[in-house]
Amino acid sequence: MLTEVYFSVPPHVIFPNGLTRASEVLHDTIDFLENECPLQRGER
């Protein structure tokens, strides 16, 4: 089982459409960046 790792200051992502995303847990942030973050030029 993975240990939860927390940020002392959570990163905030603000999208051009005004939506925001913040996460205090490192694993949630990595999951978001790998799977949910918009792709540039169709690259993954």
Q: What is the pLDDT of residues 11-41, one digit of tens each?
A: 888 878 888 888 888 888 888 878 776 666 6
3: three-class secondary structure by DSSP: coil
The angle subtended at Cα 16 by Cα 13 and Cα 19, nearest 5°, is 55
Shortest CA distance to 4 belongs to which of 25, 34, 23, 32?
25
Instruction: Evaluate whether 22 touches 13 at the Cβ level (below 8 Å).
Output: yes
Domain ranges within the chain, ordered by starting residue:
1-44
What is the pTM (predicted TM-score) of this model?
Answer: 0.56
Give residue 42's pLDDT: 64
